[in-house]
Amino acid sequence: MSGDDLFENMERLGIGLKPERRPVARTASTARDTAPYYRAALEQEMVTMASTGEGRRNDQLNISAFNLGQLVPHGLTEDEVIDSLTAAARSTAGTPMTDREIERTIRSGLESGRQQPRYAENTSYTPVAAGPVDLPPTEPPRIDVRDFEGDFWQSRTSLSTVYTAALAGMCSPWAVLACSAARALALVDPHIKLPAIIGSKGGSLNWFAMLAAESGGGKSTAMEIAEELIPHAVKTLNLGSGEGLIEAFGERNDDGTVKDLVTGHRSILFSVDEIDSYSAVAGRSGSTVMPILRSAFTGGSLGFAYRKGNRLPVLPAHSYRMTLVCAAQPGRTRAMFADADGGTPQRFMWFPATDPRIAAVRPTFNGALQLPRLTDWQYPATLRVPSECEGLIVTTRASQARGETAALNSHALFAREKFAYALAILDGRSAMDSDDWRLSGVAAAVSDAVRQWVLDQLAASEAEEARQKGRLAGVAKSAADIEKAVEDGALMARSIEKVSELLRKAGDDGLTGREVRRKLAARLQPFSEQALAVLQGDGKAHVNAAAGRAQRWVWS
């Protein structure tokens, strides 16, 4: 694989090399030697721009254009800078930037950058001596979700209480809310179910949360504050193997009731202090924890015939309540996302375990929340959900059935529905209303943002690890390792999604293969042919070879 191909693969992953501003030891270089480093600079700014969120894109585009303008014309041409940054800006998420806005911003940054030329001799893209690249440590980026919150924390007294308690304990409000939701749902008897909007068996309130932060995120503190907010007795255990997880609930009678009321439990909140221990359990040879968690999320029947010669208890469907809170350092979530095809990460809601509002000057803790009476859940019942909740679930299910929804979002609404009911409980009610559903949408947006941040940090962490061992550009991983990282990043799935969208919009006229490629973001273009082949194999797209016209791809 060529150097250009290698950097292109890194771009697809969302991985870039940040410029090193301080002097480092360098060797003399020729124009031929420095060409790869100007190319790397271009790739870096493209990746940075493409991954910038709405609200910061214009500023980042101006910065990227300035940085690259410093390299024009001695290292890069003006046309390739404009074309590359335009493609990157068009591929950003959110409301699309207009072409006029993109062009004006790029031109402004380029003109300013060209007035302060920068050469290979004073940029980190210059080659160093033959040994490994010595890059200075960089501060790990942090997630900030305040732009998603709106009036969330001020919308009701219960959420304001959680928010104040979290900051009083110097902890992330979202982390405390997640732990409180897990405790609240653990109090609900398993015979309380969500309505059977899809299917006929009803939905379980079993719910999982992931608290994401770099080391020292404070998940244990969040659990302690949640216990102060909800001082009810909740059985809490560390997550073990899948078989051990089932055994923790105790032996059952044929009707699913607990056989021994002293040692058995109908409800358990499982806790994982570090993602490493989760990964260790999941990676253990013969471990069943991943399929057990997937089944438990839906309240399905759990159990095996034998283990070490002894019959395991079998937990009938909807006879147990399970909630789970796990702490995750983004760089150590490989095992979690490796099971994306199985659906494990999709079953979690993701929240930040750090928050920029935590300060030394703290508010005063206001006391515990007022929850509904436990007798409200004494008898089996099916909950009611707002009409807008049911409508969105049905619409989204139809989209999933047509293959139009990304894999990582396949269980998002089910998790949100459960969280909406947790918000009702925290507000002192045993019935969900429209405002609970609205507020759960804020939490769902936060979850999506945090999950994507974790994915981005995982990719960056793997690239950083490779850079420390590498030569030249700091990448020591073999081409096969980079390809595997690309595959793990699921860019192929994104390409299929984007190509599907393009073909649907094109209608009966369709698009040529070349047109499809050109309309994709730069980092997705290498997958265009494979994406079309997959869609054709699935019967979702076909080739229309009308006489006198080039072959065109049409949505089936």
Q: Is residue 29 part of a domain?
A: no
CA 524: distance to chain centroid? 19
Question: Is residue 170 domain-shared with residue 274, that is, in the same domain?
Answer: yes
Total of domains in the chain: 3
pLDDT score for 179: 97
Q: Is residue 68 part of a domain?
A: yes
Alpha helices in 31-76 (DSSP H): 31-50, 57-69
Question: Nearest to residue 227, comparing CAs of 368, 106, 322, 112?
Answer: 368
pLDDT score for 173: 97
Phi, psi values for residue 258, rounded to 5°: -70, 130
Question: Is residue 444 domain-shared with residue 319, that is, in the same domain?
Answer: yes
Question: Is residue 110 domain-shared with residue 151, that is, in the same domain?
Answer: no
pLDDT score for 16: 40
Pair 243, 312: CB distance under 8 Å: yes
**Class of residue 19 by CB neighbours under 10 A (exposed 0-12, middle 13-18, buried 19+):** middle
Taking the C-alpha atoms of residue 28 and residue 461, their distance in angstroms, rounded to an integer, is 31
pLDDT score for 348: 94
Residue at token pair 């459960």 = 418
Look up the CATH number of the domain holding residue 510. 1.10.10.10
Question: Is residue 423 domain-shared with residue 491, that is, in the same domain?
Answer: no
Question: Is residue 523 domain-shared with residue 390, that is, in the same domain?
Answer: no
Question: Is residue 110 domain-shared with residue 192, that is, in the same domain?
Answer: no
**Class of residue 539 by CB neighbours under 10 A (exposed 0-12, middle 13-18, buried 19+):** exposed
pLDDT score for 25: 28
Question: Is residue 101 domain-shared with residue 228, that is, in the same domain?
Answer: no
Instruction: Give SS3 for 109.
Output: helix
Instruction: Give SS3 for 248.
Output: helix
The whole-number mean pLDDT for each consecutive block of 10 residues of the chain, a chain of 556 residues, reads 44 40 32 61 80 80 88 85 86 79 90 80 38 45 86 96 96 97 97 86 93 78 95 87 74 66 78 70 60 89 59 78 92 80 85 92 92 95 93 83 63 92 97 96 94 86 65 43 46 82 88 89 83 83 74 87
Q: Of 464, 497, 521, which closes a domain?
A: 464
Q: How far is CA 466 from CA 335, 469, 472, in A?
A: 19, 5, 12
Question: Is residue 458 domain-shared with residue 370, that is, in the same domain?
Answer: yes
Q: Is residue 516 part of a domain?
A: yes
Phi, psi values for residue 271, rounded to 5°: -125, 140
Q: Is residue 28 part of a domain?
A: no
Angle between helix 57-69 and helix 99-114 axes, rounded to 10 deg: 40
Q: Of 115, 138, 161, which closes a domain?
A: 115
Question: Is residue 46 domain-shared with residue 89, that is, in the same domain?
Answer: yes
CA 216: distance to chain centroid? 20
Side chain identity, residue 162: V
Q: Of 434, 464, 494, which closes a domain?
A: 464
Q: Is residue 268 part of a domain?
A: yes
* DSSP string across 137-189: P-PPP----HHHHTTGGGSSHHHHHHHHHHHHTTS-HHHHHHHHHHHHHHTS-
Which residues in 356-369 are b (16+ Cβ under 10 Å) and which e?
A: eeeeeeeeebeeeb
Q: What does pTM read for this prediction?
A: 0.60
Question: Is residue 344 domain-shared with residue 487, that is, in the same domain?
Answer: no
Cβ atoms within 10 Å of 264's Cβ, excluding its own: 17
Q: Is residue 138 part of a domain?
A: no
pLDDT score for 548: 60
Q: Is residue 225 part of a domain?
A: yes
* Distance separating the N- and C-terminal Cα atoms of the chain: 36
Question: Is residue 449 domain-shared with residue 499, that is, in the same domain?
Answer: no
The residues near 188 (Cβ < 8 Å, ≥ 6 apart) are 205, 267, 321, 377, 421, 425
pLDDT score for 152: 96
Which pairs count as long-range contacts for 437-442, CB under 8 Å and 24+ apart, including other chains? 437/385, 437/386, 437/388, 437/389, 439/152, 439/155, 439/156, 439/159, 440/416, 441/416, 442/148, 442/149, 442/150, 442/152
Give residue 296's domain range: 146-304+311-464
Q: How far is CA 455 from CA 123, 270, 353, 489, 550, in A?
A: 28, 24, 16, 8, 39
Question: Is residue 54 domain-shared with residue 192, that is, in the same domain?
Answer: no
* DSSP string across 11-32: HHHT--PPPP-S--------HH
Q: Is residue 131 part of a domain?
A: no
Q: How far is CA 429 from CA 124, 184, 253, 436, in A?
A: 58, 11, 32, 11
Q: Before 73, cis peptide (omega within 30)?
A: yes
Look up the CATH number of the domain holding residue 333. 3.40.50
